[in-house]
Amino acid sequence: METIWVVACVQSKGEFYFEQWIAERGGACYVPKSQYVMRPRHTRQKKMLTVVHPAFPNYAFVRHTLPYSGVPDSTWAVMVAAQGYIRMLSDVNGQPIGLWPSDIEVLMEAEDMGAFDGPEDLMDTDIIIKVGMRVYVAGGAFKDKIGQVIGRVGNNVIIQAMNARLNIPLGFLKAV
């Protein structure tokens, strides 16, 4: 039997719960993590916090054994029954989009090297962000992109870049 990693679409902010659910039931699930350090807003404490979030929001990779008999293995049933599971990414014919184990190993190595992490210089979280301002993304999945601020939600800034609206943590942004 051949093993691939399928891409599962999960509920927002539920990636880590989904990963834990699969692991507790004997499956293998991988959610690449990104982290950055920031100062909490609206506090007098000087203590910095390490924030960990998924590098690819709403997605998790689940190891799956391809069945020769056409009957899905137990991982499939666990994944579909998992809390927060929405759907699996598939092609036009409904076949799952799979990644080879070597692809996942590359992602794991990149995570270990900090490729998805925020900048090391601990950007000041008190920078003034205004709608219409051009910003540079210095970390995370959209590192090195430049966009225009169109809104803000808490510690995240919504920017227009690459013909899409991106929700970027404030700690990843620098003014251009």
CATH number for 96: 3.30.70.940
Distance of CA 148 to the CA centre of its chain: 22
Q: Judge if 54 and 97 occupy the same domain.
A: yes
pLDDT-wise least confident of 81-90, 111-120, 162-171: 111-120
CB 32 within 8 A of CB 56: yes
48 is a domain residue: yes
Helical H segments across the chain, by residue range: 15-24, 74-81, 101-112
Percentage of the chain exceeding pLDDT 70 = 83
Q: Judge if 85 and 15 occupy the same domain.
A: yes
122 is a domain residue: no
Q: What is the mean pLDDT of residues 54-67?
A: 87
Q: Judge if 70 and 139 occupy the same domain.
A: no
13 Cβ contact partners less than 8 Å away, ≥ 6 residues apart: none
Tally the domains of the chain: 2
Q: Judge if 19 and 101 occupy the same domain.
A: yes
Give residue 82's pLDDT.
Answer: 86
Cβ–Cβ contacts within 10 Å for residue 5, how many? 22
Q: What is the pLDDT of residues 27-56, one digit of tens each?
A: 899 999 988 777 666 666 667 778 888 989
Give residue 123's pLDDT.
Answer: 44
Q: Judge if 39 and 77 occupy the same domain.
A: yes
Most confident of the following: 10-24, 56-70, 119-133, 160-174: 10-24
Chain-wide mean pLDDT for the chain? 82
103-108-113-114 Cα dihedral, nearest 10 degrees: 110
Q: Tokens in use for 1?
A: 């039997």
User: Of 81, 112, 143, which one is at a domain's C-terminal end?
Assistant: 112
Q: What is the mean pLDDT of residues 108-116?
A: 86
- Residue 146 sits in which domain range? 134-175
Q: What is the mean pLDDT of residues 86-115?
A: 88
CB 34 within 8 A of CB 116: yes
Quick one: which of 140, 136, 146, 137 has its CA closest to 114?
140
Most confident of the following: 10-19, 44-53, 161-170: 10-19
CB 46 within 8 A of CB 126: no
